Amino acid sequence: MPAVVIIGGQWGDEGKGRVVDFHARYCSMIARYSAGTNAGHTIMNEHGKFALHLVPAGIFYGDKVCVIGNGVVIDPDILLSEIEMLSSRGIDTSKLIISDRAHVIMPWHRVIDVADEKLRGSSAIGTTGTGTGPAFHDKVARIGIRVGDVLDSERFPDQLQKVLDYKNRVISGLYGELELQYDAIFAEYSAFGEKLRPYVTDTTSIAQDAHQRGEMILLEGAQGSLLDLDSGTYPFVTSSVPASVAAGGAVGIGIGPTAIERVVGVYKAYQTRVGNGPMPTELFDEDGALLLEGGGGAPGTSEYGTTTGRARRTGWFDGVLARYTSKLNGVTSVALTRLDSLSAFDRIRICVAYELDKERVTSLPASLEDSSRLKPIYEDLPGWKQDVSEVRHLDDLPANARQYVRRIEQLLDAPIDMISVGPERHQAIVTRDIFGGNI
Ligand code: IMP
């Protein structure tokens, strides 16, 4: 059976968690394959509302193997808190497994994340400050510490000493921050290691064996394709290696790319972004403010970050960027989220092209930063001004809402199979179940 990847088609926060939650029922294994604590999923189900950063959203099924793959960087403190929170709320975490090859976020990573942003001044990226970026830097610099290293009592003391000596020179010399103390870090991380030990294993072999047995594996992307290091709005991107795009899924769990047969692209019905960087369709007016507060959609749909609580920047759907990421990921099925959040608008705009130096372009320029040279070209569609949160069939959507959905589908050049109309698990229109055929 093939593996399926679920990716965000914009700048993250598209609502991937609920789409994973929906498709997870067909899979025996659900895996996170990239990013770290910077990622955030909000999931609402019969157990309540949950904000997860590291544990795969499939954990709520209880019978699925949930993998934190080799491509993820792990803050053990946050992971352990998440496991404890889930257990205390009655969620079984015994099927969680953690790759011994995943890299660990160390205390210096958080210090450097914040200090680096200060140094960047007006060019700051607006990182989550979770240490995720610096942990990936160390992975690429080949001085990262992996989960398996922390559990290895022979190797860890010496490795920690060497890396810490180097990092303290950077922390004090470059950033003027206080040096970190070996003993405290060693004690803290050794304790984390012991608590995580029951979950840590060679997840690569387990995933390969599951694939060999023909089991369905769901690869859960983090962030969005426009934040991808190679393909996103560089340098205002995240640092995940392997990539946040679908192609990274195979690498981040250790299976071959031929295993991936389906790619579900999750797109919000409008655009949001947290952190800095270009966003051509950003709104600075009352329409933007309305989107921030949920756009007249179902309660609990305002746009504040799961990880940092920051207000998200809001804007109209950008069809140029969306088409780009649809092709980039080889999207075979689309989940369109938060359609209900457009219910308050008389007129809804979709960006269908850009004007760049007076030329109309529909492909993505390498740099979007100079907003004086680049303007979105909009198509205006009539709003539906009606609550859609109880709609469960496409035909029951107001005609204007169907027109909006169809236009987005054309721009993405991929079928929209699921539309979310509210935050609850059941508040969705499913037009085609990608595993089960038409419903
Ligand atoms: P970092 O990943 O913390 O280094 O942040 C780099 C950029 O990615 C910043 O603009 C962050 O706001 C953004 N970012 C990181 N994780 C997420 C996420 O889960 N959702 C949305 N944006 C994110």
Does the beta carbon of 223 sit less than 6 angstroms from any atom of ligand 1? yes
Does the beta carbon of 40 sit less than 6 angstroms from any atom of ligand 1? yes
Beta strand spans in 278-358 (E): 313-315, 317-318, 333-337, 347-356
CATH assignment of 105-198, among 1.10.300.10, 3.40.50.1100, 1.10.287.1080, 1.10.3210.10: 1.10.300.10
Model pLDDT for residues 315-364, shown as the tens digit of each residue: 999 999 999 999 999 999 999 999 999 999 999 999 999 999 889 999 98
Give 61's DSSP letter.
G
Half-sphere exposure of 171 (CA within 13 A, CB side): 20
Helix H or strand E encompassing 44: strand 41-45
SS3 433: strand
Does the beta carbon of 112 sit less than 6 angstroms from any atom of ligand 1? no
For position 416, what pLDDT does the model report?
97
Does the beta carbon of 193 sit less than 6 angstroms from any atom of ligand 1? no
Does the beta carbon of 275 sit less than 6 angstroms from any atom of ligand 1? yes
Considering only CA atoms, which residue is closest to atom 5 of ligand 1? 127
Q: Which atom of ligand 1 is nearest to the CA of 39?
A: 19
Question: What are the angstrom distances between the C-alpha of 193 and each of 15, 138, 147, 190, 215?
Answer: 32, 20, 8, 5, 30
Tell me which residue of 48, 36, 21, 49 sits closest to 335, measured CA to CA: 21
Q: Look at the block and give the residue holding tokens 């010399």.
A: 173
Q: Which CATH superfamily is domain 3-90+203-430 in?
A: Adenylosuccinate Synthetase, subunit A, domain 3 (3.90.170.10)
Top pLDDT among 2 and 203 is at: 203
Q: Which of 127, 303, 307 to mutate to test the pocket of ligand 1 (most atoms within 8 A of CB)?
A: 127
For position 17, what pLDDT does the model report?
86
For position 1, what pLDDT does the model report?
61
- The predicted model gives 190-196 an average pLDDT of 98
Does the beta carbon of 126 sit less than 6 angstroms from any atom of ligand 1? yes
Question: Is residue 29 predicted with pLDDT exceeding 80?
Answer: yes
Model pLDDT for residues 261-276, shown as the tens digit of each residue: 999 999 999 999 999 9
Question: Is residue 438 predicted with pLDDT exceeding 50?
Answer: no
Q: Which atom of ligand 1 is nearest to the CA of 222?
A: 19
- The predicted model gives 169-185 an average pLDDT of 96
Same fold, 3-90+203-430 and 105-198: no
Q: What is the mean pLDDT of the chain?
A: 94
Beta strand spans in 309-396 (E): 313-315, 317-318, 333-337, 347-356, 359-361, 374-382
Q: Which atom of ligand 1 is nearest to the CA of 227?
A: 8
| Å from CA of 361 to ligand 1 middle | 27
Does the beta carbon of 38 sit less than 6 angstroms from any atom of ligand 1? yes
Considering only CA atoms, which residue is closest to atom 10 of ligand 1? 275
Question: Is residue 437 predicted with pLDDT exceeding 70?
Answer: no
Does the beta carbon of 52 sit less than 6 angstroms from any atom of ligand 1? no
For position 366, what pLDDT does the model report?
84
Q: Which of 105, 138, 227 to mutate to test the pocket of ligand 1 (most atoms within 8 A of CB)?
A: 227
For position 85, what pLDDT does the model report?
97
Question: Is residue 432 predicted with pLDDT exceeding 90?
Answer: no
Which residues are known to be catalytic? Answer: 13, 41
Question: Is residue 157 predicted with pLDDT exceeding 90?
Answer: yes
Question: Is residue 94 predicted with pLDDT exceeding 60?
Answer: yes
Q: Is 55 in contact with 18 (CB distance < 8 Å)?
A: no
For the chain, the domains span 3-90+203-430, 105-198
| Å from CA of 387 to ligand 1 middle | 31
| Å from CA of 91 to ligand 1 middle | 28
SS3 272: strand
- The predicted model gives 422-432 an average pLDDT of 89
- Residue 287 CA to chain centroid, in angstroms? 25
Considering only CA atoms, which residue is closest to atom 1 of ligand 1? 127
Cis, bond preceding 365 (omega within 30 deg of 0) = no
Residue type, 82: E
